[in-house]
Amino acid sequence: MSTQLSYGELATLMKSCAGLTVDPQALETRPDATFEEFGLDSLGLLAIVGELENRYGTPIEPGAESSKTPGDFLDVINTSLTTGA
């Protein structure tokens, strides 16, 4: 299992945790767009963080659920997964 979360995996998590269908290419080409622009709210983001903590068996860095953009979120998540938070 990869320890780096991709935009494609983020799009899949957005679908499974928040019920949003988002084109992974849109996330990747617009990493500085806000989650709000994609329809994801703070509760959806919190659900994604919880899913990642369960999946990888490690806590995610505090504040990840407050990320405003996909790019920032992936930076925080991938740093947490690499360092073990």
Residues near 78 by Cβ (< 8 Å), separated by ≥ 6? 3, 4, 5
DSSP symbol at 69 = S
Amino acid at 20: L
**Rounded to 5 degrees, what are φ and ψ at 51?**
-60, -40
Query: What is the per-residue pLDDT for 77?
Result: 94
Query: What is the per-residue pLDDT for 1?
Result: 47
62 or 84: whose pLDDT is higher?
62
Segment 65-77, tens digit of pLDDT: 999 999 999 999 9
DSSP symbol at 61 = P
Which whole number is the average pLDDT over 18-45? 96
State what percent of residues in the chain have pLDDT above 90.
79
